[in-house]
Amino acid sequence: MRLLTVTFTVLMLSAASVSAQSASIIERYFTALDMDTVFEVLRDEGVEAGQDLSSNDGVTLSPAWTARLKRIYDPQKAKVAFLEGMKTVEGIEESEAAVVFFESDLGKRIVQIEIDARKALNSDAGEAAAAANVAKLRKDDPALYLMYQEFIKANDLIESNVAGALNSNLAFYRGMATNENYAEGLSESFMLNSVWEQEPEIRKEMEDWTINFSSVAYSGLSKAELQRYIDISKTPAGQRLNTVLFAGFDQMFEEQSYELGRATAEFMIGEDT
């Protein structure tokens, strides 16, 4: 995994699905974490990854394929899916103290540096530079390195991202299996076994990516500022916010992966529409 303001009237948040208080927290959450920008970044990542997929998996890179990718990763569709995932978490309002943190000057700065770090890592050169920086950091400032590891653990970044990636990969296979040309070869047992075989590689990628990301994103914070971020992450409000975050992303990535699987199957057999 190369690891968000919504118009709520358009999304029609009703009292039946979420309380007014929860709706207010969700709106503040989207604004504080700049979700609009994040969805745009993720669209660019998804389209680029899909273009790479085309060269490796028998799909011809074409204007039609790129257009399909843009529809799959459309930021507005991503918002709707993310919101659906958020709504599966009870007690969203319990995360308010963490939302307040991201509305502070430090929180706003953290949101921006996290977005910038994600962009920086979306290239082989960026990842290589980050990995070199981590190696240097372990030698020169082991205390800071351990703080990054503490942050990763506090936010359950490895386990949650591994689980999310496995579910997304399974969704991709299930999307492919909707095409009759591939359904017979993609039994449920085959898909599950194939996904689980990928777990060690995915885990290693997540371990590398999360520490690389942390070293890039939080290098501009003082240790005291980073500790404040770690501390809020460990609170019940921070943990609840983290649960909401992963629920939203899991829903979004699974829907996108399913649609990518469907599109891949169609384009591999020439149904390039």
Q: Which residue in 270, 267, 269 sits closest to 65, CA to CA? A: 267
CB contact at 8 A, 249 and 241: no
CB contact at 8 A, 94 and 236: yes
CB contact at 8 A, 6 and 83: yes
By the 10 Å C-beta count (0-12 exposed, 13-18 middle, 19+ buried), 247 is classed as buried
Q: In the numeric block, which tokens belong to residue 263?
A: 């599109």
- pLDDT for 85-98, tens place per residue? 998 999 899 999 99
pLDDT, average across residues 25-53: 92
The rounded percent of the chain whose pLDDT value lies above 70 is 89
CB contact at 8 A, 253 and 166: no
The rounded percent of the chain whose pLDDT value lies above 90 is 77
Q: Which residue in 61, 38, 37, 36 sits closest to 49, CA to CA? A: 61
- pLDDT above 60 (res 19): no
Q: In the numeric block, which tokens belong to residue 247?
A: 């629920």
pLDDT, average across residues 95-116: 96
Tell me how far CA of residue 132 lies from CA of 25, 117, 138, 208, in angstroms. Answer: 39, 15, 10, 11
The per-residue DSSP string of 50-89 comes to: HHHHHHHTTPPP-HHHHHHHHHHT-HHHHHHHHHHHHTTS
Q: What is the pLDDT of residue 160?
A: 95
The whole-angstrom distance between residue 82's C-alpha and the CA centroid of its chain comes to 10
Q: What is the pLDDT of residue 252?
A: 97
Calpha distance 203→199 (Å, rounded): 6
pLDDT confidence of 209, banded at 50, 70, 90? Answer: very high
- pLDDT for 146-170, tens place per residue? 999 999 999 999 999 999 999 999 9
The pair phi, psi for residue 194, each rounded to 5°, is -65, -40
3-state secondary structure of 187: coil
pLDDT, average across residues 216-220: 95
| Spans of all domains in the chain | 8-268
Q: In the numeric block, which tokens belong to residue 168?
A: 């997304």
CB contact at 8 A, 233 and 152: no
